[in-house]
């Protein structure tokens, strides 16, 4: 009977790396990262590098634990085991909330992008087709999900590599600029490198941290990876470097080719860069990439959050129907519940403006309110690993993938996350979403303690 509750281990390292890449390189990068550049100018490059370093530490802490214990919904499990059952509970629900919100926003984005080719088709029709397609892919098997995500992510990656090559040709050789090299002067000649000072830099950091969210999905895929010890280590080693190259490389091209203070007139820097070198179909190409980027984000969302619902079911915090697996060993009900949740959110987005004036602002708030819940797994990973190391001292001697600079690296990463949240509170544009995220965590904590005796008695049986 127990084996029926085991998810299948069908994800290869190639798929896991692309899943993590796909989860992180989202629509935000292709839209031009306008807000972050506006706040801090060209020094946004350092902000991406700094956030990437913090991300590297988080992933290494996760990797150390996954090597010894590769399980589905891992960081929620670690939170319960090494901190407190409430930590695991909040991590799982934060992940579900984050990906529900991300899924809704990505499906709505798909509708807007498809409007480019089919202006007359209502967004809810295209959105419904997307949700049903991704739901079916997730229900077929984890292998089908992994393969779909691999190709979605590959399209994004190839586009960015192409952008980096074209960018280098424009900057160094003047390709598309009458062979007059643009050079690097845009990095400092419009008010300096640090145009927004320290405050602007840290404001940008809060948005950048959010744009990296999703990379920890490796911790959720670990329970369904072939040979998890090898695949997890391989995936984590390569993933952070790749994300940094793609993010920093693409942003570097953008702020070097275009004066940072004129980017709002450019529209999408990706479209503009491709157009500049004579690719007339640039807008259509980037639009196609945006569609796959948005579908990829939604696909990862359905996968990750359904595995967290499954984990909550295993811990008896949801009805046992959530633990039942299909014959392909996929948690059927969690996948359907998340897909329906995304569908309802998309329909509300279409309907609410007719009833509530200014309801578009509500949705903007809800989307950005996933930033704090998205950070919860990071806090849990860093704190769990401090306890994990103490508990597994004898296994650490020959552990090949230890957290570097432990424990100072944990404290440094935790402090960086706390400072980011403080500046989110100071910044008018991010304060309300942060408060929505805090309210969500408080409500879930109250629910946990109100139903705690029920959970404890269920877990003791």
Amino acid 214: pLDDT: 74
Q: What share of the chain is helix, strand, coil (3-state, %, to 5)?
A: 80, 0, 20
Whole-angstrom distance, CA of residue 293 vs CA of residue 33: 15
Looking up tokens 């959530």 gives: 322
Give me the sign of the Cα torsion angle 54, 56, 59, 60: negative
Give the bridge partners for 325, in sequence order.
331
Considering the domain boundaries, does residue 461 fall inside one? no
Q: Determine the Cα–Cα distance for residues 437 and 349; give it in Å rounded to an integer.
A: 20
Q: Which among 135, 115, 134 has a CA at the least distance from the CA of 124?
A: 115
Residue in 458, 390, 400, 388 with CA at minimum distance from that of residue 78:
388
Distance (Å) of CA 34 to CA 38, 242, 263, 285, 372: 6, 22, 7, 20, 21
Asked if residue 459 is part of any domain, the answer here is no
- Is the C-alpha dihedral spanning 293, 295, 299, 302 positive or negative? positive
Q: In this structure, is the dihedral angle defined by the CA atoms of residues 18, 158, 276 and 195, taken in order, positive or negative?
A: positive
| Total domains present in the chain | 1
Whether 460 maps to a domain, the answer reads: no
Contact present, 256 and 170 (Cβ < 8 Å): no
Residue 17 Rama label (left phi>0; alpha psi -120 to 50; beta):
alpha
Give the C-alpha separation, 5 to 288, whole Å: 39
| Paired residues of 11 in beta bridges | 225
457 in any annotated domain: no
- Measured CA to CA, the distance from residue 317 to residue 306 in angstroms comes to 14
**225 has which bridge partners?**
11
Q: What is the number of other CB atoms lying within 10 angstroms of the CB of residue 389? A: 21
Structure-token match 């499954």, residue found: 310
Structural domain includes residue 218: yes
Q: From residue 370, how far is each of 71, 345, 366 by CA, in Å?
A: 24, 14, 7
Residue 458 lies in a domain: no
Task: Provide DSSP, 411-436.
Answer: HHHHHHHHHHHHHHHHSHHHHHHHHH
Q: How far is CA 246 from CA 21, 22, 215, 240, 402, in A?
A: 10, 12, 14, 10, 26
Indicate yes or no: pTM above 0.85.
no
Residue 393 has a pLDDT of 85
Please report whether residue 277 resides in a domain.
yes
Residue by residue, DSSP assigns 160-175 as HHHHHHHHHHHHHH-T
CA distances from 338 to 97, 127, 276, 310, 329 (A): 10, 14, 41, 11, 17
* Cα–Cα distance for residue pair 206/421, rounded to 1 Å: 7
Q: Check residue 1 and give its pLDDT.
A: 33
Question: And the tokens for 210?
Answer: 């959010």
Q: How many CB atoms lie within 10 A of CB 309?
A: 24
Range of the domain at 11: 2-450
- The three-class DSSP label of residue 391 is helix
Q: How far is CA 282 from CA 119, 162, 279, in A?
A: 19, 12, 5
Q: Which of 12, 24, 13, 28 is nearest to 240 (CA)?
A: 24
**Residue for token pair 């179909």:** 281
Q: What is the mean pLDDT of each run of 10 residues along the chain (461 residues)?
A: 58 73 66 69 87 90 85 78 92 89 84 83 88 92 83 86 87 83 82 79 81 74 74 78 81 84 71 77 84 84 87 87 89 95 88 69 68 91 92 84 90 94 85 89 93 65 55
Residue 31's CATH number: 1.20.1740.10
Note the pLDDT tens digit of each residue in 143-189: 888 888 888 888 888 888 888 898 889 889 888 777 888 888 888 88
Q: Is residue 456 part of a domain?
A: no
Cβ-based neighbour number of residue 101 at 10 Å: 24
225 by DSSP, 3-state: which? strand
> Which region, left, alpha or beta, applies to residue 406 given φ > 0 means left and ψ of -120 to 50 means alpha?
beta
What are the angstrom distances between the C-alpha of 40 and each of 53, 144, 191, 417, 427? 19, 41, 11, 19, 13
Q: pLDDT at position 361, please?
A: 58
CB atoms within 10 A of CB 188: 14
Omega before residue 407 within 30° of 0, cis? yes
């Amino acid at each position: 009977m127990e084996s029926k509750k085991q998810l299948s281990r069908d994800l290869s390292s190639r798929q896991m790396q692309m899943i993590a890449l796909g989860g992180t390189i989202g629509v935000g990068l292709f839209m031009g990262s306008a807000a972050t550049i506006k706040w801090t100018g060209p020094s946004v490059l350092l902000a991406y590098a700094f956030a990437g370093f913090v991300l590297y530490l988080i992933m290494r802490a996760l990797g150390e634990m996954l090597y010894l214990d590769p399980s589905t919904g891992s960081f929620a499990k670690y939170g319960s085991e090494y901190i407190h059952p409430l930590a695991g509970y909040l991590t799982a629900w934060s992940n579900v909330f984050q990906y529900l919100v991300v899924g809704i926003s990505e499906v709505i984005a798909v509708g807007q992008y498809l409007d480019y080719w089919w202006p007359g088709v209502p967004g809810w029709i295209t959105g419904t087709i997307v949700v049903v397609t991704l739901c079916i892919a997730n229900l077929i098997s984890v292998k089908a999900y992994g393969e779909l995500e691999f190709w979605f992510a590959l399209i994004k990656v190839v586009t960015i590599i192409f952008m980096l090559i074209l960018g280098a040709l424009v900057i160094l050789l003047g390709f598309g600029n009458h062979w007059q090299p643009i050079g690097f002067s845009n990095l400092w000649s419009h008010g300096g490198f640090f145009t927004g000072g320290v405050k602007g830099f840290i404001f940008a950091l809060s948005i950048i941290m959010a744009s990296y969210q999703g990379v920890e999905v490796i911790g959720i895929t670990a329970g369904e990876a072939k040979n998890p010890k090898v695949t997890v280590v391989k995936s984590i080693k390569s993933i952070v470097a790749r994300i940094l190259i793609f993010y920093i490389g693409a942003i570097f091209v953008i702020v070097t080719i275009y004066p940072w203070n004129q980017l709002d007139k450019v529209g999408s820097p990706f479209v503009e860069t491709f157009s500049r070198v004579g690719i007339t179909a640039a807008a259509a190409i980037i639009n196609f990439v945006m569609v796959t980027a948005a579908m990829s984000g939604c696909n990862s969302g359905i996968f990750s959050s359904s595995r967290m619902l499954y984990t909550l079911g295993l811990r008896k915090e949801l009805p046992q129907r959530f633990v039942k697996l299909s014959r392909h060993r996929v948690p059927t009900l969690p996948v359907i519940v998340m897909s329906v949740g995304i569908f309802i959110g998309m329909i509300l987005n279409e309907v609410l403006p007719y009833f509530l004036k200014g309801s578009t602002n509500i949705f903007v708030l809800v989307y950005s309110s996933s930033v704090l819940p998205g950070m919860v797994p990071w806090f849990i990973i860093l704190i769990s690993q401090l306890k994990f190391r103490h508990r597994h001292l004898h296994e650490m001697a020959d552990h090949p993938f230890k957290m570097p600079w432990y424990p100072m690296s944990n404290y440094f990463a935790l402090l960086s996350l706390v400072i980011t949240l403080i500046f989110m509170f100071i910044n008018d544009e991010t304060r309300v979403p942060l408060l929505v995220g805090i309210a969500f965590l408080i409500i879930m904590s109250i629910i946990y303690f109100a139903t705690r005796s029920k959970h404890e008695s269920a877990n003791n049986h």
